[in-house]
Structure 1
Amino acid sequence: MQTTRSFIGIDLGPAASAAVARLLQKLRGQTSAVRWVEEQQLHLTIKFLGELDNVLLPGVCANLRAVCQHCEPFRLSLGELGTFPRGKPPRVVWVGIDDPESRLQALYERLDEAFVEYGLPRESRGFSPHLTLGRVKSQADTLDLQTKFDQLPGLTATEFEVEEIHLLASVKQGRTTQYEPIDTVELAGVM
């Protein structure tokens, strides 16, 4: 059985990507304790699907299209900088996504329900939309990470339009991971 590690995601668009790239440049100078994401790898994951049997991929694509056919394009904006887990030593550095009309939340809920038939359980943690900017590789230098972040200019009000949703494959290439499109669905309907 051949499998593909896959997820459903959104691209940021040029303006938001450029804003996050500028922030990443500043963050790289703040600490060496974090392995920062490469700018071309930035994306917003809506739903992680995991290792899927390749035989299922055509059905997954059809299912994604069925869910998205009633969705119209919507706007999101970049939010605050933070870390996961909250209240514990950080493992992930992220920038939040503001969803003022809850359109992304509604899409997530529909997708979460739609993929149960593929053996994917509903997410129990809830949906916390964010862009992963980096993963902590050394806890020694992270005690004042949030303090450093608070001194950086924010990304609020940097908006982007979501006009399409992607089914992406996560492909290991040596020590890096590349994201390759499997399918792209344009949002043109009414949610």
Structure 2
Amino acid sequence: MRVFVALRPAPAALEHLDSALEEVRAGAGRALRWGDPAQWHLTLAFRPDLPGGALADAVDHLAILAAHHRPLRLELSGAGVFSARALWIGVAGDTEALAALMGESLLEGEGRERRRAHLTVARVSARAPRAPRRRRRGEAPPPDPTQLLLADAVRALSVYRGPTWEASELELVESVLGQGRSGGPRHEVLATVPLG
């Protein structure tokens, strides 16, 4: 099973972000593939290979770790790009406590490569325009229109600050590739455990 541990922002925080993205979406056209707001979350840990028989133990392990961390007051804030392909929204608030939580081995056997806490809102689409490949000798390469579009989106969202919410539980979520909207992953919450 492909699973991850997530914090889900409050509905009001997600609605606020969805509204704030309207203008950016309009300017992006088909160059970006936007995520489904119903599936937006902050990924804290990911494991692509959890055996189905280990699910109960994984939930018990997660519940024990979560009990040692208090609920967090967070807000979505700012934006950035990963790997020149994914547009994300950052997190502000109790970030030291969030970093401590992310430092835990939330899923035994997980890969430990973690980036900062973020909410991915869009990825570069296969329909995105590409920079022309041909150029004259000695000329600088032409700018990549998709990278310019991503830079404009980050600039527009750099001042974004959403409403504060309290994250009081962690979700263990299964990600089933190819079964979601537009061929993306489908996420199913397998378990919820309280913080504190």
What range describes the TM-score normalised by the shorter chain of this pair?
0.7 to 0.9
Structure 1 distance, partners of 2:153, 2:67, is 43
What is the CA distance between 1:22 and its match in structure 2? 1.0
Counterpart selection for 1:147 from 147, 152, 166:
152
1:167 paired with 2:172, answer yes
Distance 1:128 1:7, change over 3 A: same
CA contact (8 A) 1:99 1:105 kept: no
Distance 1:183 1:148, change over 3 A: closer
Q: TM-score, normalised by structure 2?
A: 0.80
Structure 1 distance, partners of 2:123, 2:153, is 16
Matched residues, number: 175
Structure 2 distance, partners of 1:95, 1:178, is 21
What is the CA distance between 1:76 and its match in structure 2? 1.2
Distance 1:50 1:147, change over 3 A: same
Q: Which runs of 5+ in 1 are unaligned?
A: none
Which has the larger share of strand? 1
- Alignment root-mean-square deviation, CA: 2.0
- The equivalent of 1:83 in structure 2 is 81
The one-letter code matched in structure 2 to 1:40 is A
Structure 2 distance, partners of 1:108, 1:148, is 27
Structure 2 distance, partners of 1:96, 1:9, is 14
Structure 1 distance, partners of 2:189, 2:2, is 12
- The equivalent of 2:194 in structure 1 is 186
- The equivalent of 2:16 in structure 1 is 19
Structure 1 distance, partners of 2:121, 2:192, is 24
Larger Rg: 2
Q: Which runs of 5+ in 2 are unaligned?
A: 131-144
1:129 paired with 2:117, answer yes
What are the Cα deviations for residues 96-123 of structure 1, in whole angstroms up to 9, with x where unaligned? 112445111111112x3x54xx433433
The one-letter code matched in structure 1 to 2:147 is L
1:44 paired with 2:32, answer no
Q: TM-score, normalised by structure 1?
A: 0.82
Q: Which aligned segments of 4 or more residues in structure 1 are displaced greater than 6 angstroms?
A: none
Identity %: 31
